[in-house]
Amino acid sequence: MTASHAFRLKPGQDLKQSIDSFVKAKNIQAGWISTCVGSLTEYNIRFANQEKGYSDKGHFEIVSLVGTLSVNGSHIHLSISDSTGKTIGGHLLAGCKVYTTAEIVISEASDLIFTREKDGSTPWEELQIKKKEVVQ
CA distance 27 to 53: 28
Write the DSSP symbol of residue 6: E
Question: Is residue 136 in a domain?
Answer: no
Angle at CA of residue 119, ends 114 and 124, nearest 5° = 85
Domain count within the chain: 1
**pTM here?**
0.94
Question: Is residue 6 in a domain?
Answer: yes
Question: Is residue 54 in a domain?
Answer: yes
Question: Is residue 48 in a domain?
Answer: yes
Q: Please say if the pLDDT value at position 136 is more than 70.
A: no
Q: Please say if the pLDDT value at position 120 is more than 80.
A: yes
Q: What percent of the chain has pLDDT over 70?
A: 98
CB-count exposure of residue 64 (10 Å: 0-12, 13-18, 19+):
middle
Q: Give the domain CATH number at 19.
A: 3.30.1330.80
Q: What is the pLDDT of residues 58-72, one digit of tens each?
A: 999 999 999 999 999
